[in-house]
Amino acid sequence: MTQLHSLTKNVEHMLKHDIVEPAVLPRCSNVVMVRKQGSTMQFCVDYYKVNELIKKDKFPLPKVDTCLDTLNGCQYFSSCDLRRGYWQTEIDERDLLSRARSSGVSKC
């Protein structure tokens, strides 16, 4: 399967399942197909140029113990499928501009 065929198949699947939607925006990130072990292709987004525009926060990451301590006494937890976790998170309308991506199948 060629990269373009794999890319087109992925985009069609995501459009069909309302994971992504067509958009016309002033900037977008490129989509790249990366070969995984076993010769399957993985759909990836190259946020390199968008990352240059984002203001970086400078603070240390919390220790794992500190994070776990904050859960003490909690009764409700949620989980996210890490295989397709990115697609399960809705993007706030104000952030859509920085999350647009171009598959090359159609222009953004």
Q: In sequence order, what DSSP letters do the residues of 9-59 get, joined into one string?
A: HHHHHHHHTTSS-----S--EEEEEEEPGGG-EEEEEE-HHHHHHSPPP--
Asked if residue 62 belongs to a domain, the reply is: no
Percent of the chain with pLDDT over 90: 1
Q: What does the chain come to in residues? A: 108
Asked if residue 69 belongs to a domain, the reply is: no
Asked if residue 25 belongs to a domain, the reply is: yes
Task: Kindly state the average pLDDT of the residues 67-77.
Answer: 88
Asked if residue 82 belongs to a domain, the reply is: no
Asked if residue 14 belongs to a domain, the reply is: yes
**Which of 10-14, 24-28, 58-62 comes out lowest in average pLDDT?**
24-28
Asked if residue 83 belongs to a domain, the reply is: no
Structurally, the chain folds into a number of domains equal to: 1
Asked if residue 64 belongs to a domain, the reply is: no
Whole-model pTM?
0.49
pLDDT at 3 (0 to 100): 78
Note down the domain range covering 31: 3-55+98-102
Asked if residue 30 belongs to a domain, the reply is: yes
* 97, 26 contact by CB (below 8 A): yes
Rounded Cα distance, 6 and 3, in Å: 5
